[in-house]
Structure 1
Amino acid sequence: MNGNRFGRLFQVTTYGESHGPGMGVTVSGCPAGLELTEEDVQRELDRRKPGQSMITTSRGEPDEVSIQSGLQDGYTTGTPIGMTIENKDARSGKYEPFITAPRPSHGDFTYSAKFGTRNWGGGGRSSARETVNWVAAGAIADKILESEGVQVKAHVNQIGDVEAPEVSFAEMLEHTEENDVRCAHPETAERMQERIEEYQEAGDSIGGSIYFEVQGVPRGLGAPRFDSVSARLGQALMAVPAATAFEFGLGRDAREYTGSERNDEWAFDSNDEPVPVENDHGGIQGGITTGEPIYGELTLHAPTSIPKPQETVDWETGEEKTEQVIGRHDPVLPPRGVPVVESMLSLTIVDFMLLAGRINPDRLDGQPGEYDTDYHPSSPRSE
């Protein structure tokens, strides 16, 4: 099975299944000299973990990370960083009715049709639990971006038909983590919460979307066509479980604009550098970053595991049957999807910056890769 690796220079390789012993990720290509602790990674994992509120799954996973390699005295060494997260609350038995009777809109049948077998406990490898690895790796990318002055933030901007007005980047930083929905507009967050609870009480689920923004991105990242920033972001974000649409800039609204309305005219900034007057292109023109903020939106469909009885077939017995998914599932995905989206953005941008030589691939202190007497593990950033 391929598709377990992401990135080119900053490479992330993941393993693990929803109800297996644990999850794991290896990060290759992280430069040496980055200050990193398990607490840095745990802080992000705590934002994604289940059981945070009444509108998330009640599965009791602490998601405690253990860094197995790639660190010395609290700093990265430049070697692969291995991290593991144990599964503490797996309950595979509830999925036995679906071994040969696929749950509606899941990957049960397609996985079995492709491989001739699958880990059926909780969806196995196709479970959204796998994103715990992405967030662990994203925490490392975040630390690198922080040292380069790049900020990544997202918030839930729509649940069902409840849509938040536009908010500033500062408002996202200030308000996103203040409520269970992770919407940076507090009044709308209350309405979203009410709507989610309505579907939850009815034994159903609902979809929504996540708005994201990246500030401080240097100009000149990316290349035309298949290595464009927009193409790579599309790959990264459409890999998020339940993703059905990725947009940047004007996104789908661009179909309603004329060329003269959408075109970004150019002007000089205070440093006499050319900059777009507007940013309808979402910080990307010709597949390459302009230096303006990258922004866009990811749509996630309603969770497919719902307690309502649904029709399926048993491909082994040939029977049509009614089954009910019994278990611990989210009634909505965007609130826990925010840190996942942020992580995939961070991983993508770090990879582009390394490819462009904006980050020293060997040493974050900018020094040559060879050893010198001023560089010691106990003081990797000696003045």
Structure 2
Amino acid sequence: MADVTLDFALPPELEALAAEARQVGRDLADRCDIREDSWIAGHDEAVAKDLSDRGWIGMTWPAEAGGGGRTVMERFVVFEELIAAGAPIAAAWFADRQIGPTFLEFGTPEQQERFLPGILSGESMWGIGMSEPDAGSDVASIRTRAVRDGDEWVVDGQKIWTSGAAHADFVYLVARTDPDAKPHQGLSELVVDLRSPGVTVKPIVDMTADDHFCEVYFDSVRVPAANLVGEENGSFKQIMRQMEHERGGIDRLVSNRRLYEDVLAVADMSDPLLRQEAARLETDYRLGRLLVIREVLGQAPKGFSAATKTFCTEHEQRVAEFCARALGPAAQAGDPGLSARLRRNLAYAPAYTIMGGTTNILRNILGERVLGLPRGPR
């Protein structure tokens, strides 16, 4: 039998694209004091325009929709490098990762014509109105209501943890449109202009002083009926498709990669225990990267993004803990900029396994929907 070699190296054209994105990412990140979690906390509208000019928004979208028609691996290497470097891409990230693909899959031609150009140009900012105070990971418990009134929907309710809503033009809203249906049914998706009367956006300042999470209140907000995306009362399957985009991406693995690299450059790695821990993190990074690539290539089982996100975000928490141990006293007395970043990341790290679906919920999804395990007693 002939020897078979599994080659994990990127082909030369992807290596060149990755090198370009790495340099762009470093240049953009070096303008920022904080380089961690840049895909969610680093809002810079000029960067969104820069990405558009480079053709790095909508890279994989079909050319007839205005996209780049490029491969999923081209997009992967670009955003792996941008996020790992700490480039502030939040102004474009949600629309590129999630909103555009949803319109392409479920939107009408009119909606695609109306909304996609602004996303592609980097001029249209979006938030995702899904979580609520009593319905975080449990989408079926959503209570925000939309009632049909002629050619409009009237929306009442509250969303929370809506990333970037303070800067956004639109929110992609999940609302209950049939209160008598079963919990997983009766949900619909609407595009809501955040400048509409009755909308109130309140940023939430967290313990790191970030304010990208927001509360959004809807008080009899009128939304054109034409802004319904996909099937009325059929949103749950669309939400699950969105979750594949949200949970299985490279943003869940390299949020604090730049901090890790910067700490390694100054830490005393003569300690064999630190070297052993760094080796483990490097191994886990490569395993997580392979999980993400499998999602990107469409090779993962349906619903497996729950496992990918769980592994990757727990890895990010271990990175934060390692960086504190590796710096030791220098975390307080060393480079003030690096120390500030480390302290912030330690405080922020618990969020990794909460936002986008808590790990206990994701483990249930993995057990029940992927592995087919029986549900335990309740």
TM-score, structure 2 as length reference: 0.24
The answer to which structure has the higher helix fraction is 2
Q: Which has the higher contact order (CA 8 A, sep 6+)?
A: 1
**TM-score using structure 1 length:** 0.24
Q: Higher strand fraction: Structure 1 or Structure 2? A: 1
